[in-house]
Structure 1
Amino acid sequence: MSAPATDENHEASTMSERGTGERALLPTATGAQTLAALATLLRGHRLPAAASVTVLVVGTGIGLLTAPLLGRIVDLVVERRGPDALTVPMVLLLAVAVARGVATAIGTSLVARLGETVLANLRERFVARALRLPLERVEQAGSGDLTSRVTGDVTIIAKAVRQALPEFAGALLTIALTLVGLAVLDWRFLLAVLLAVPVHVLTVRWYIPRANKVYAQHRIAAGALQHQLLDSVGGVRTVRAFRLNRTHAELLEQRSQAARDLALRGFRLISGFFSRLNAAEFIGLTAVLVTGFLLVDGGSVSIGTATAAALYFHSLFNPVNAALFLIDEAQSAGASLARLVGVSGLPAEPESEPEGRAVPVDGSIKVSALSHAYVDGHPVLCDVDLEVRSGERVALVGASGAGKTTLAKLVAGVHRPRGGSISLGGVDTRELGPAGVRRTVMLISQEVHVFAGPLAEDLRLARPEATDEELRAALDQVGAREWVEALPDGPATVVGEGGHQLTVTQAQHLALARLVLADPPVALLDEATADAGSAGARVLETAAVRALEGRTGLMVAHRLPQAATADRVVVLDQGRVVETGTHDELVAAGGHYAALWAAWSDSRRG
């Protein structure tokens, strides 16, 4: 469970933005990679795809009978055959309309169903890969980049699948079969219609490269804006503490303006796109009408046939415009799809560990000459040495930016250190591997997510096979059983999004209960009681002490009373360990910790 970007992380993030101007964004797939991934997704659905196309072809073919029937009615009227002669064509027109409507509805439904199935597979693959990405790689890209892909990009693709894909498939079939119908009427009508094709081709060639670039840039700009919003709002306390309000406001303004400008460029492209399509319609219809006049005048075709040809071309307006307009959505969806596929190409952490890998013998922690920096030239930790005995509770204390959270994240394996080494239970973390570190260490941050669903299932995320009795025991150990059983349905109460909303204290209680159920040898608490308020913090501090029983505890202490209860306090200042000892020893020493404790005590009295 990753900690939020607090104190030194926000400072490093801000320096990164100012120092480099760019983050290490997650990759975007090339066109070939995107098409290959799409082909792989479709490979297992050939039968539904064939059925969808077949039904759409039948429906579109039936609909093409409308123009000849109307042309026949025109000929009957010209020949003055009387009202009785119109009965059969009118009945056939009604039958064609009904049959076409039914077939189109079924075909569109099949296409939409196929699209939803492929979209679900794509989403599942993306989430599965995203969950296995190294946490350090995700944090380098920034939370906004990944969340914008999970939310914004998936939404765009879903909209394209549900609306654009069925319309596009129907439009293409209508265009193809209508051109065949024109050729059947008279091949010269087909030649007349083809005069509009160069305008369409030039329009698409003008539009696609420009739109592709704009939409890709807009998705990146949107991700950068979302990242900045999360960074500024999530770290508002740190922003205020370091007086970075103006800096963050300027960054938000710059990124909002960049996203807005790219959106406006897209609108201008769409306007130019449709103005060119209108010109193509004028050229094509004029050519068909002139051709029809000449052929009727020469006796080659009847007025009804010429009418049918004009109706055929007129019926192409909507499908041609729809197909070309949907290129706009296709470009946007393609850019989003490339961003999702790009993540699938990243190396993932192995799901299993090779046999014979060393196993920690206990819960001890040893940090040797540890150094780390988020941005080159701005070290956050410098040559840190620290040993924590198995079962010992150690509090990390220091001013904002001292390196407390970074040290915790390095021990938890979220980041890889730039220098030095970390051992857990006598085994180097590089030898343990990511999966081994996760089995040994559990990190609980001040920002805990409550998953939507029954509360009991939320707890079982830590141990899926846990019995109801084990859940109650874990809740009881951290002092949460009373309020859980007081919920409307007890542990079966649906919590999270759309369910019963838990307080900050209750959410942290759940996280501590998960810790008890997971039962790792080492637990890291990164300011896990900081946002609960005074009363809630005292409750959670007691719960944290009980959750840490029998395991090694490393606590990033925001509240000094929590540090006072630890077996040992380690004080960091500017990325270095400057003091270590018990609470009483450090207060008596009159150093950094004593000054922090005095300031804390004065603030409580004030």
Structure 2
Amino acid sequence: MSVTGVQGEERHDYSKAESRHIRGRSRRLLGSLLKPLQGKLWLTAAAVVVSSAAQVAGPAIIAYGIDSGIPALIEQDWYPAAFAGLAYLITGIVGAFLISVYIRLSARISQAVLIDLRTRVFLHTQKLSLEFHESYTSGRIISRQTSDLDAIRELMDEGLTMLVRGLMYMVFTAIALVLLDWQSGLVLLVALVPLGILTRWFQVRSQALFRRSRVASAKLIVQFVETMTGIRAVQAFRKERRNEVEFGDLTEDYRDVNAKVLGLFAVFNPGLAFIGNAAVAVTLLLGGFRVIDGSLGVGVLLAAVLFTKRFFDPMEDLAMFYNGYQSASSALEKISGVLEEQPSVPDPVKPVDLWNAEGRVRFEAVEFAYTKGRVILPRFDLDIPAGQTIALVGSTGAGKSTLAKLIARFYDPSDGVVSLDGIALSDLHPKDLRRAIVMVTQEAYLFSGSVADNIALGKPDASFDEIVRAAQAVGAHEFIEGLPNGYDTDVNKRGGRVSAGQRQLISFARAFLANPAVLILDEATSSLDIPSERLVQEGLTKLLADRTAVIIAHRLSTVAIADRVLVMEHGRIVEDGTPDELIGGTGRFAALHAAWRDSLV
């Protein structure tokens, strides 16, 4: 399923074919989650059945106690009354014990399902390609892991138990009523007609509203998360008022749809109460006449009234279950959509090992276009010998970053082959690929933890001395030593404790520690000031010896360390040569260099 397909599931106006596909996908996911728990499910079902039967037996025992126990007591025979009392007590104890059993079992089943599902979502989204994450917003991913999983948790924790127990209770109550007094059972049967009509009315109207409620809730979460994530841009561009209006509209939409849901319950619950009370009244009236003429015992009438009333008791709970069911069903549809998504850059079926890469990179007849976009690289050929440092120069949108992403295999070409040491990247073992090629981007993302932990990401088993040497190589050691706790300093969320330039230096040290055969720097010096950039360039000169490197930079000072410069325009190489050759020429790079030199004056 494509990313656009997953995004489309935020709609609630599916075609019939789409609805069938989504429901089938959700059922398969639920089946796979419950399959390992079949034993506990059967045990829980048995506990529910026996518990419901024990609870339902109460009115029948009362009828026996009244109609048989009381006359026997008049005759000084206390055995029937004692038996009825003891039986009622035992069924109550058994019912209570089994309720405790199935609550515990259902809780274990619920937690097992949620842990499995939460883990699947996390691991799967981690494996999905960059294309998915660039299209599927972070707010929606968070919504899948939070509100959607919470909806499923609420259903699993209480809803399913409520449903099974309620249905079993109603079935056993109806059977007991028919066995006790079939004429009273007919009254209940007649009452099922308006009950079925009312329930169907509620089901049809609530289904669409519950789905809209889930969509509105997800939009609220997305808006909130994206606003908080981009709070700097929000405040820098004074977007607070616009966000207030947008969030207000989303809140109003969420309130309106929930008000309509409550409106349904305002009709359903009173209607349910009226049907139940009418059935009880008719049972009592008709039974009363039969008691008078002696064809029905008082105890049986009391039991029939109790059975009729108790039959309708779970209905409100079942309506609430349906509310939770619709929310959980909608959530499961969205989660199953994410889990159905396949990586656009799949792992090879038969991976080829490359233990010691030399670093030769080749593009052979490569074409590339992003999904539903224009062609970025039209029929592209390039040979980068092992150990060569090349600089990619060109205007924004020329295809430089795309070229880097193809080398790192964040994307696969639409046509042609990108290879490392003669092996297509799509055939290379993922571990060998990630070990051989490392990319440092402008973002310089740091994870919560110490500076040392962030550097060691490039080599998890690195010693502290190796971490320090990597930092020294890129000129980061001095500022790290100046931090409150040196290498043990916590960088805080997303590296908020260090400056943008310092984050970039730490990311350099991380990449250098990884010791790749091919190093890609995508605008990686953009956050550095001139002195820091010179320090890094010194480290780069040492590190890039005998290593293939691809440097994308708008700062032409960074280009000076390259062996070869490629000038790109519209996905094509328009100039190719050493920095000195191109500077001495009259082409595009010479003009760029002259303009850059004049800007320094």
TM-score w.r.t. length of structure 2: 0.74
Q: Residue 11 of structure 1 corresponds to which residue in structure 2? A: none
Please name the residue that 2:547 is paired with.
551
Q: 2:105 aligns with which of 92, 107, 110?
A: 110
2:151 paired with 1:156: yes
Contact map agreement 2:474 2:535 (CA 8 A) in 1: no
Q: Secondary structure of the equivalent of 2:4?
A: coil
The 3-state SS of whatever aligns with 1:520 is coil
1:237 and 1:498 mapped to 2: Cα distance? 14
How far apart are the structure 2 equivalents of 1:258 and 1:537? 46
State yes or no: 1:122 paired with 2:122.
no
Cα distance in 2 for partners of 1:412, 1:305 equals 80
Partner of 1:23: 4
Which secondary structure does the structure 2 equivalent of 1:414 belong to? coil
**Residue 397 of structure 2: aligned partner:** 401
Choose which of 374, 379, 393 in structure 2 pairs with 1:378: 374
Q: Which residue number in structure 2 is paired with residue 272 of structure 1?
A: 264
Deviates more, 1:129-138 or 1:399-408: 129-138
Match of residue 181, structure 2, among 142, 163, 186: 186
1:160 deviation in Å?
2.7
Q: Within 5 Å, which residues of 2 pair with 1:188-337?
A: 188-208=183-203, 211-212=206-207, 261=253, 264-265=256-257, 267-269=259-261, 271-272=263-264, 275-299=267-291, 300-301=295-296, 305-317=300-312, 319-337=314-332
Cα RMSD of the aligned pairs, angstroms, is: 5.2
Offset from partner CA, 1:362-408 (integer Å, 9 cap, x none): 21223355443336573333454444332233333333333222222
- What corresponds to 1:171 in structure 2? 166
Partner of 1:37: 29
User: How far, CA to CA, are the matches of 1:584 and 1:74 in structure 2?
Assistant: 110
> Displacement of 1:308 after TM fit?
4.6
Q: CA deviation at 1:279?
A: 1.4
Gaps of at least 5 residues in structure 2 are 10-20
- In 2, the alpha carbon distance for the partners of 1:350 and 1:375 equals 16
Mapped to 1, the partners of 2:168 and 2:484 lie a distance apart of: 55
Instruction: Name the counterpart of 2:387.
Output: 391
Separation of aligned partners in 2, 1:369 and 1:230: 42
Contact 2:283 2:304 in 1 (8 A): no
Query: Secondary structure at the residue paired with 1:446?
Result: coil
Letter in structure 1 aligned against 2:390? V
Report the CA distance shift for 1:584/1:307 in structure 2 as closer, same or farther (over 3 A). Answer: farther
How many residue pairs align between the two structures?
576
AA aligned to 1:36 is: R
Q: How far 1:120 sits from its partner (Å)?
A: 1.5
User: Identity percentage over the alignment?
Assistant: 29
Structure 1: which 5+ residue stretches go unaligned? 1-21
Q: Tell me the CA shift for residue 298 of structure 1.
A: 1.4
Aligned AA (1:340): I
Q: Which residue is 1:9 aligned to?
A: none
Question: Partners in 1 of 2:86 and 2:99 — Cα distance?
Answer: 20
> What is the DSSP-based 3-state SS (H/G/I as helix, E as strand, rest coil) of the residue aligned with 1:167?
helix
Q: Aligned partners of 2:526 and 2:125: how far apart in 1?
A: 29
Deviation per residue, 1:166-222 (Å, 9 max, x gap): 433443343334334434543333333334433443345445455555655776787
Q: Please tell me whether residue 445 in structure 1 is matched to residue 437 in structure 2.
A: no
Instruction: Give the CA deviation at 1:322.
Output: 1.9
Provide the residue aligned with 1:571 in structure 2. Answer: 567
Deviations 1:328-350 (A, max 9, x none): 22222223223333444455566
Aligned counterparts of 1:354 and 1:593: Cα–Cα separation in 2: 43
Shift of residue 310, structure 1, vs aligned partner: 4.0
How high is the TM-score relative to the length of structure 1?
Answer: 0.74
1:156 partner amino acid: A
| Greater mean deviation of Cα atoms: 265-274 or 403-412 | 265-274
Q: Distance in 2 between matches of 1:542 and 1:159?
A: 58
**TM superposition shift of 1:524:** 2.0
SS in 2 for 1:363: coil
Give the superposition deviation at 1:114. 0.6
Q: Measure how far apart 1:282 and its partner are.
A: 0.8
Q: Is the 8 A contact 2:348 2:429 kept in 1?
A: no
Q: Which amino acid aligns with 1:192?
A: V
Deviations 1:242-292 (A, max 9, x none): x9x9xxx89x99999689758744652553255134313312321222212
Higher RCO by CA contacts (8 Å cutoff, separation 6 or greater): 1
Q: What letter matches 2:276 in structure 1?
A: G
1:535-583 CA distance string (max 9 Å, x none): 8777776766666555322233254443444444433334333444555
The 3 A distance-change label for structure 1 pair 570 and 351 is closer
Equivalent pair of 1:71/1:308 in contact (CA under 8 Å): yes
How far, CA to CA, are the matches of 1:544 and 1:152 in structure 2? Answer: 46
